[in-house]
Amino acid sequence: DVKVTQSSRYLVKRTGEKVFLECVQDMDHENMFWYRQDPGLGLRLIYFSYDVKMKEKGDIPEGYSVSREKKERFSLILESASTNQTSMYLCASSLWDGYTFGSGTRLTVV
């Protein structure tokens, strides 16, 4: 089974901090994705990547950036955390259509 591992389950950060969320997958998938999950809004795509060094903006990229230096690792960066970025962040990977998600990181910005 493909495993997608997110480095932290819970994070509490202060407003203005730079925050790194890490995601690693172990099945050589080309595609990786970052979503945020908020009640009533479903899963909204922040950024995605179809290859190493490649990145594409999703639907809500403002305030975020990403890094993919190695195929298995996709990092989400909050340049200057704000309270409206308090959310559940989900990483996913795929080879084609079926996504495998990590367990999520619940980020609270205070």
Partner 1 sequence: QQQVKQSPQSLIVQKGGISIINCAYENTAFDYFPWYQQFPGKGPALLIAIRPDVSEKKEGRFTISFNKSAKQFSLHIMDSQPGDSATYFCAASPSGSRLTFGEGTQLTVNP
List residues near partner 1 by CB under 8 A. Answer: 4, 33, 35, 40-45, 48, 58-59, 90, 92, 96-104
Q: How far is the CB of 88 from partner 1 (least distance, A)?
A: 9
Rounded-to-integer distance, Cα 8 and Cα 22, Å: 8
Asked whether the beta carbons of 52 and 70 are under 8 A apart, the reply is yes
Q: Which H/E stretch holds residue 1?
A: none
Q: What is the largest CA-CA distance in the chain?
A: 38
Structure-token match 């495993």, residue found: 3
Q: How far is the CB of 15 from partner 1 (least distance, A)?
A: 26
Q: How far is CA 61 from the centre of its chain?
A: 11
Q: Which H/E stretch holds residue 78?
A: strand 73-78
Toward partner 1, which CB reaches closer, 40 or 84? 40
Toward partner 1, which CB reaches closer, 103 or 108? 103
Toward partner 1, which CB reaches closer, 31 or 67? 31
Toward partner 1, which CB reaches closer, 44 or 73? 44
